[in-house]
Amino acid sequence: MPEKRIVLGNCGATDPNDIETYLGKGGFKGFIKARDRLKPGDIVDQVKKSGLSGRGGAGFPCGLKWELARNAKAKMKYLICNADEGEVGTFKDRYILSHDPFGLIEGICIAGLAIGARQAYIYLRAEYHFLNDPLCRAIAQVKEKGFLKHLDIQVFEGAGSYVCGEESALMDSIEGKRGEARYRPPYPQARGLWGQPTIINNVETLMNIPHIIANGAAWFSAMGTAKSKGTKVFSVSGDVSKPGVYELEMGSSLKELVMDLAGAVDIKAVQVGGRHGNIIPGHMIDIVLSYETCLGPGAVVVFNSKRDIIDIVHNNMHFLNDESCGKCTPCREGTEVMLEILGRLRGVEGAAGDIDALEDLAQTMALASLCGLGQEAAVPVLDSLKYFRAEYVNRIEQSLFLRSYLGEELSKSKEGER
Amino acid sequence: MGNVNVNIDGKKLRVREGVTILEAAEANGIKIPTLCHIKDQVPTGICRVCVVELERSRTLVGSCHTPVSEGMVIHTHSPKVTAVRRVIVELMLTAHTGDCVNDTNAENCVLHNLASDYEVGAPRFNVKVPRFYPAEDSNPYVRRNLSKCILCRKCVRVCASIPGKNILSVGYRGFRSKIVAGFDEALLSEKCRDCGKCIEHCPTGALSAPVKV
């Protein structure tokens, strides 16, 4: 399957500083249709029928989320566009925001109509500060055209925390608190920002909305697999000759993406889904990319045979440990202990019980952590233990041998001294 | 609000809608251990010791903050729950430094008792740098030994519930989190007077009344 550019269709074809070029390409047709010909309930129905699921990684059905928020009774409802693209190895949202801000704003406009929100926030990652001005200019242009009468859009810049990409921590951050995950239920659709019903959608999810409204739900649901509909934008990086942003239909194989499009040749493993994504070994490269298998936010990092798997996993854990918010015990302490174990393995100082300890910790963190960061922190560890167990066992045996050998040498030299 | 039917550890119960699993269990004589829960305060779900197994749920749920709903089947002490609780307590003990062995108040330490209840023993894990902070004696009303702190944030919350106080907060991030006063300054007696609420609530020996000499 070749690339199928729907979300990225206008990237490069329109001028991000000039709304006329976007309108010339058929922009805001979806919004005008939604505003003039559809009731809010119909918009939600369309999105529901399309089978669109959240593109931020969790894959929650978008229509269902909207319906819950729409049916919630409250004076004020909020819409948040999550542009805190903190996941390591993703850069698709930056690409979209810098090339097609109008597409996103149109999606936000339609979502606002559908759930009845009057205030929308674009939560922009701190590192994307340079996109703040262009985004605000784009919003002003849309306002001038009269498309924003029902909704106020504000760009809110984060402060550089990874966990603030998690929806509940993100809301805490907007409320001015320390960005930490909240327990659920209540879900944001019932009680979110300032205790009001809130919808939080990823940039890419909202980019799909105008196309669904303009072309109909049936057109959208014809693409993809049984449970994953539409297309997905991938950010490919690592040991490939052509890293970049690629859009493929759901259900394409990983091989197509990394070998045919990105030009990877030597593949030891591919990490799909960012820092807590699955590690796919080279021999399973034919795996299909969809929510049923592995996907996450679409970060694909390729590692060639020169890379050491324990090094990769250690690096992962170093990041997650650094970014853990420190609220719940399993994540705060668990990542630290895992980092210690992996650090020792990396430095050939492993001990016999290390694999068991890693597995025990992984289970506890997955079952008891408060948010996705802790729950999924151990996914790469478990995957690497599943597919590359021999390397771990080898490393521990090396450590044991080295220690006993060095111990003998040491005692010999001591005898010599006597 | 009406009543809902739940099943906790095989007991069929009828409880008021909206109460948490913990409250429902406690009202019916089922004990769930907690470290961060303060009765009648908004739950936070920090310590994760109170997790229980909820059928048809992907993960274990925190009983202190999950409200009951119709038809819930809950296991508070299944092997899965016990295993997870044990690892959590073990994790808390791992980074914990202090003189628990010769501490005369060790029997008052909730963590200490929990560890013996769950037969945790000496933790098998290690961390690169355990938490160690010198004990702070700057305040005549409260002695802070943050090496023993398990970051349950009870002190932060009770302090915030006293009008005009709200002295303590959480500083730093992740493993390096610490309960701080102001911008991690010494807790001076101008700010903190002798209410002793935080000492009352501290589950470990991190906060204590100074010994009068």
- Tell me: the pLDDT tens digits for A317-375? 999 999 999 899 999 999 999 999 999 999 998 888 899 999 999 999 999 999 888 89
- Cβ contact B176–A326 (<8 Å): yes
- Cβ contact A326–B151 (<8 Å): yes
Give me the residue from B66, B127, B174 closest to A322, CB to CB: B174
pLDDT at position A412 over 80 = no
Q: Which pLDDT belongs to residue B26?
A: 92
- Cβ contact B46–A368 (<8 Å): no
pLDDT at position A385 over 80 = yes
Task: Dihedral sign for Cα A125, A296, A303, A352, please.
Answer: positive
Tell me: do A292 and A328 sit in the same domain. no
End of a domain among A285, A303, A321? Answer: A303
Q: Which pLDDT belongs to residue A99?
A: 92
Strand partners, A232: A248
Tell me: do A211 and A67 sit in the same domain. yes
Tell me: do A88 and A170 sit in the same domain. yes
In angstroms, what separates the C-alpha of A128 from chain B's closest C-alpha?
22
Tell me: do A339 and A298 sit in the same domain. no
Does domain B87-208 bear CATH number 3.65.10.10?
no
Write out the residues of chain A at the interface with chain B, using a CB-CB cutoff of 8 A.
Answer: 161, 178, 183, 185, 321-330, 332-337, 339-341, 343, 353, 357, 360-361, 363-364, 366-370, 375
Range of the domain at A342: 309-402
Tell me: do A73 and A212 sit in the same domain. yes
Which residue type is seen at B198? Answer: C
Nearest to B152 by CA among B68, B96, B100: B96
- Cβ contact B125–A325 (<8 Å): no
Q: Which pLDDT belongs to residue A408?
A: 74
- Say if A6 falls within a structural domain: no
The predicted model gives A20-33 an average pLDDT of 90
Tell me: do A202 and A270 sit in the same domain. no
- Cβ contact A329–B67 (<8 Å): no
Give me the residue from B83, B127, B150 closest to A337, CB to CB: B127
Asked if residue A285 lies in contact with residue A263, where contact means CB atoms within 8 angstroms, the answer is: no
Asked if residue B9 lies in contact with residue B77, where contact means CB atoms within 8 angstroms, the answer is: yes
pTM (2 d.p.): 0.91
> In angstroms, what CA-CA distances link B170 with A322, B157, B166, B175, B178?
16, 11, 11, 12, 6
Q: Which pLDDT belongs to residue B194?
A: 78
What is the rounded distance in angstroms from the CA atom of residue A198 to the CA atom of residue A117? 8
The predicted model gives A296-307 an average pLDDT of 90
- Say if A413 falls within a structural domain: no
- Cβ contact A368–B88 (<8 Å): yes
- Cβ contact A328–B47 (<8 Å): yes
- Cβ contact B174–A326 (<8 Å): yes
Tell me: do A198 and A49 sit in the same domain. yes
- Say if A359 falls within a structural domain: yes
- Of all residues in chain B, the one with the smallest CA distance to A369 is B48
pLDDT 10s digits, A127-158 = 999 999 999 999 999 999 889 988 999 999 98
Task: Dihedral sign for Cα B96, B98, B102, B108, please.
Answer: negative
> In angstroms, what CA-CA distances link B110 with A112, B21, B115, B179?
49, 21, 8, 19
Q: Which pLDDT belongs to residue A1?
A: 62
Chain A CB within 8 Å of residue B8 CB: no
What is the rounded distance in angstroms from the CA atom of residue B36 to the CA atom of residue A173? 23
The continuous run of DSSP H or E covering A79 comes out as: strand A78-83
- Specify the long-range contacts of residues B6-10, CB closer than 8 Å, at least 24 apart: B6/B68, B6/B69, B6/B70, B6/B71, B6/B72, B6/B73, B6/B74, B7/B72, B7/B73, B7/B74, B8/B74, B8/B76, B9/B74, B9/B75, B9/B76, B9/B77
pLDDT 10s digits, A195-209 = 999 999 999 999 999
Instruction: Find the CATH number of the domain harbouring A356.
Output: 1.20.1440.230
- Phi then psi for A246, rounded to 5 degrees? -130, 140
ipTM of the complex: 0.91
Tell me: do A211 and A193 sit in the same domain. yes
| Mean of pLDDT over chain A | 90
Residues of chain B with pLDDT under 50: none
What is the rounded distance in angstroms from the CA atom of residue A329 to the CA atom of residue B177? 11
CATH architecture of B3-77: Roll (3.10)
Tell me: do A212 and A146 sit in the same domain. yes
Number of separate domains in chain A: 3
* Residue ranges of chain B assigned to CATH 3.10.20.740: 3-77
pLDDT at position A303 over 90 = yes
Give me the residue from A178, A332, A375 closest to B175, CB to CB: A332
* Residue ranges of chain B assigned to CATH 3.30.70.20: 87-208
